[in-house]
Amino acid sequence: MNERKSLSANERIFRFNRETFGGTETFTYLGDGELGGKARGLALIQEAILPLLAARPLPSVSVYVPNLLVVTTRFFDLFLENNGLSCAALAGQSDDRIAHRVQKAELPPELVGDLRAFASKIHSPLAVRSSSLLEDQAQAPFAGVYETKMIPNNQPDLDSRFNRLVEAVKFVWASTFFKKATTYMASVGRSPEEEKMAVIVQEIAGQRHGDRFYPNISGVARSCNFFPFGHAAFDDGIVNLALGLGKTIVDGSRVWSYSPAFPGTDPPFATARDLLEQTQTDFWAVNMGKPPAHDPIRETEYLVQCGLADADYDDTLALAASTYDAENDRIRMGTGTAGPRVLDFAPLRRANVLPFNEALDDVIDRCREASGGHVEIEFAVNFENRPRPCADISLLQVRPIALRREPADIRESDLSGPGVLLASERVLGYGVIDTLRDIVYLRPESFDFRHSRQMAEEIEAVNARLVGQQRPYLLIGFGRWGSTEPSLGIPVAWGQISGARVIVESSLPGKDIDLSQGYHFFHNISSLGVGYFSHKPGDPYAIDWDWLAGRRLVSETRFVRHVEAESCLKVVMDAGKKLGVILK
């Protein structure tokens, strides 16, 4: 009989038993250590939220947590101890060297048999994910800091499946010491010695289509909306949807955003052509076909990036796409006609084929009630016809959002005048910051998205210097900070700009990029209280580039300038009013 882990009176989480494990258990664990933040969020969903949703079921929609196993922090400790690994032993090494060293280390003997028994029963694709002690906390959530490895788990022999699973677990353990993680820890005043890594091994919520395995939809939902459009308000929330695996959303690539309170309202696009050009054009899937070259230290080893033509072939766009009518420059809902596909999810949001939005809205409300505050939820959706359309919503993560709402005295009349460096009507943050003299910005005259990776490296060098001097700064750039898609912005990890106290996203004329909210990057910003300004070419308040050019130059590279103001800037923000201003 499975042994229960004593967590609370309501949690039904069982110790893994290789003699009785059948492969259908919802939530099991290995070891006597901690489950970690992400796993505890899943336990909250399983035990406190799903029963509430079951009490008010919706037709043709089911909500569940995919089956999972947690390798607790006890095995992380044993792994490091047995192999002579530590923060000090790995310090200063590159991510690749750390990953290689960890891969060569031996698994704790206590873990080998149980993990092999697990692999013998499970044949579906698996996501191997981090669940560290410090992860998913309200004040410093560590969102997107650690790595995830997805594996097809479809090899016919147990040895191969077991070996790939072990490599994935080691890869997640190794990411505890990667540069992205250690720099983030330093930025929030935590030490790597404080961290311990549990690992979640979870069945991927998806379906197989030939050599591709992926969900119809991945999504991130927030119970609050920092940049509402149309009639939506702050508390109406925001949902980001993407075709395929959630990597598209996590990477800050093109997704579709809408408010669940107004599911039929589209973001403000000037023309149908603009909408076509700024929506998702490719997606991620697990590669179920010919094995790739063996590369256990690469996150995307078993992933493949596909185009919309592949999804059309797989017949997975019926509820996700509309079609562009070039002759009339309009968007036609659905995929019943020929033409370029537009991932606006209009059939799902507008046609009422399924009560999807109602179910999602209910999930958001229940998670917020159970958490006692605003939350961010990751989920996946699969559609089936049995015999009528049905939706399975898989809940993958819930984390709290910490909101800092100090009052700020700001009016529209304060947003213009000779003393204003920049102002915006789309602001994230509250209160006053008056301790910044350093300004780091991308030079508009030399900016080119083709060189965004070099820009990230140049910014990282300035950030490291300023962090070492304990000098927080204002950061100004173009496109989305943190996007891994070069055409959308600057692919920085949080640790590369960790010293920024206020961040500005601007757009160049003819290159208007959607706002970045809803991703791991912006979850960290809101939780850490970093100010954020969005500025677009058509806004009534221009950035005073001439003033910036006249400040004392501290350093300059091909794309980045670091200047110092004569006195501290004054930043005033009130996200409730959607107003913010930076005064010279």
Per-residue pLDDT reduced to its tens digit, 545-554: 999 999 999 9
pLDDT exceeds 70 at position 202: yes
User: In a 3-state reduction of DSSP, which class is residue 209?
Assistant: strand
Q: Which has the minimum average pLDDT: 16-25, 203-212, 464-473, 511-520?
A: 511-520
Pairing label, strands 27-30, 14-15: parallel
| pLDDT-based confidence at residue 387 (cuts at 50, 70, 90) | confident
More confident residue, 13 or 395: 395
∠ CA 161-165-168, nearest 5°, is 145
pLDDT exceeds 50 at position 368: yes
Q: Quick one: what percent of the chain has pLDDT higher than 70?
A: 93
Query: What per-residue confidence (pLDDT) applies to 140?
Result: 62
∠ CA 53-56-57, nearest 5°, is 85
CA neighbours within 13 Å on the CB side: how many for 201?
A: 32
CA dihedral over 95, 97, 101, 103, signed as positive or negative? positive
| pLDDT-based confidence at residue 224 (cuts at 50, 70, 90) | confident
Query: What per-residue confidence (pLDDT) applies to 520?
Result: 58
Q: Which two tokens stand for residue 85?
A: 């690994």
Q: Which has the minimum average pLDDT: 60-69, 118-127, 430-439, 532-541?
A: 532-541
pLDDT exceeds 80 at position 382: yes
pLDDT exceeds 70 at position 108: yes
247 vs 283: CA distance, rounded Å: 9
| pLDDT-based confidence at residue 522 (cuts at 50, 70, 90) | low
pTM for the model stands at: 0.85
83 vs 66: CA distance, rounded Å: 33
Query: What per-residue confidence (pLDDT) applies to 581?
Result: 96
* Mean pLDDT computed over 26-40: 93
**Inter-CA distances, 48 with 14, 61, 345, 416, 525, Å:** 16, 19, 30, 49, 28
Please write the tens of the pLDDT for every residue from 561-577.
999 999 999 999 988 78
* C-beta atoms surrounding 176 within 10 Å: 24
Provide the mean pLDDT of the chain. 88
Q: Which two tokens stand for residue 517?
A: 């909210």
Of 357, 252, 367, 244, the C-alpha closest to 304 is 244
More confident residue, 509 or 26: 26
Buried b or exposed e, range 473-482, using 16+ CB within 10 angstroms: bbbbbbbbbb
Contacts with 105 (C-beta within 8 Å, 6 or more apart), sequence order: 79, 82, 83, 85, 170
Q: Which two tokens stand for residue 185?
A: 């820890």
Query: What per-residue confidence (pLDDT) applies to 8?
Result: 37
- Helices then strands, each counted (H, E), the chain: 16, 30
